[in-house]
Structure 1
Amino acid sequence: MLDSETWLVIDDDHAFSDMLAKRLQQFVKYVFVESDAFGARQLLNREKISKVVLDLKLSNESGLDVLEDILIIQPSCRVLVLTGYASISTAVLAIKKGAYNYLPKPASSRQIIEALGDDISQTLVTEDRLTTEELEWEHIQKVLNDHDGNISATARALDMHRRTLQRKLAKKRVIKKAP
């Protein structure tokens, strides 16, 4: 366990960031989640953060701009840029701006931890065993993403009633935040 580390996940996809935080909390004592650049900057100014998982495209700002601010506020912080819109040019630009690493989505918590330079593969043996609920959630999210967020098309692709899908998507994922 990486007890001494505090991680920050900055991603405006609440379902993804909450699930990632939940998985990371098995290995890291504190995991903060922020959905926008403003909240992330405030948190970085008051907490010592070891590692950051940063989405390239935030709803209100580019992750590359946030990357520069993170490294100004906390120069020793390792930042992993994670994106659903991977390209060689953005990968090169992210590394030039100071990112420790760059990964395309979808990425497992194992890949994310390893990309940030933590060799804890022995600890992660159990991570590959997802619960049925987690597997279902990840599958729904993938199909939803494949259909550009269209609930009706996703429900048809999953052979599921639209209201059932909406209920599953409405379930709130509760993530404990550090005090």
Structure 2
Amino acid sequence: MNDISDTTIPTGIPAGDDPIGEDRSLLIVDDDGPFLRRLARAMETRGFVVEAAESVSEGIARAKNNPPRHAVVDLRLGDGSGLDVIEAIRARRDDTRIIMLTGYGNIATAVNAVKLGAIDYLAKPADADDVYNALLQRTGERPELPENPMSADRVRWEHIQRVYEMCDRNVSETARRLNMHRRTLQRILAKRAPK
């Protein structure tokens, strides 16, 4: 499901041409163990020095002990939100290049992640090349626009997620505002975003 390619960058790059820079530290926080290990290996082959965490608490602890220059953080983790990890990183270091990575992509959380300091937002499945390119994207570069517009189901999903975020992730209040049964809303929130 999550395809992580192991393409490597060329070795022997002159110091001035190294796209990663001197500080090669990368923190990856994701509760999907196999995906985390594959992504960590793939990023190590590309020249990063990787620390991995499988929970919000572990991610925050690693960010406090050794604030990374680069970070890839999953939005939904078993013990909370990856947004808390972003805040912890930003409290210690303001130059970290952070990518929010999630299988539950929506506009509201993308905007929130960017406000907290993420530089990009990638939906799973993302491969290592996507993550690498996003981490090293230069300021001012624009990503390619998608060829296909969002489907009607996706637009509905985005609206529900936006209201959910506006209600501080309170399911009951979101259901009330959307004039929707709470259980129906919970089922929608538990599913992945439609294409």
Q: Cα distance 1:4–1:66, how it changes in 2: closer, same or farther (>3 A)? A: closer
Identify the match of residue 45 of structure 1 among 45, 64, 74.
Answer: 64
Residue 107 of structure 1 aligns to a residue in which SS? Answer: coil
Cα separation, 2, equivalents of 1:50 and 1:79:
8
Cα separation, 2, equivalents of 1:29 and 1:64:
23
Matching residue of 1:67: 86
CA contact under 8 A between 1:5 and 1:30: conserved in structure 2?
Answer: yes
Report which stretch shifted further, 63-72 or 100-109. Answer: 63-72
Matching residue of 2:13: none
Residue 111 of structure 1 aligns to a residue in which SS? Answer: helix
Deviation at 1:29?
A: 4.0
Cα separation, 2, equivalents of 1:38 and 1:5:
23
CA contact under 8 A between 1:7 and 1:28: conserved in structure 2?
Answer: no
Cα separation, 2, equivalents of 1:28 and 1:22:
10
Alignment of 1:23-172 (within 5 A): 23-118=42-137
* Aligned-pair identity (%): 32
**RMSD across aligned C-alpha pairs, in angstroms?**
1.9
1:22 paired to 2:41: yes
Deviation at 1:46?
A: 2.2
Q: Greater Rg, structure 1 or structure 2?
A: 2
Counterpart amino acid of residue 47 in structure 1: N
Q: Cα distance 1:92–1:48, how it changes in 2: closer, same or farther (>3 A)? A: closer
Identify the match of residue 32 of structure 2 among 13, 28, 35.
Answer: 13
Deviation at 1:79?
A: 0.8
Counterpart amino acid of residue 21 in structure 1: A
Counterpart amino acid of residue 90 in structure 2: L
Please list every run of 5 or more consecutive structure 2 residues that lacks an aligned counterpart in the other structure: 1-8, 10-19, 139-190
CA contact under 8 A between 1:64 and 1:97: conserved in structure 2?
Answer: yes
Cα separation, 1, equivalents of 2:97 and 2:108:
20
Q: Cα distance 1:55–1:72, how it changes in 2: closer, same or farther (>3 A)? A: same
Cα separation, 2, equivalents of 1:97 and 1:4:
22
Deviation at 1:28?
A: 2.2
Please list every run of 5 or more consecutive structure 1 residues that lacks an aligned counterpart in the other structure: 120-147, 149-179
Deviation at 1:48?
A: 4.1
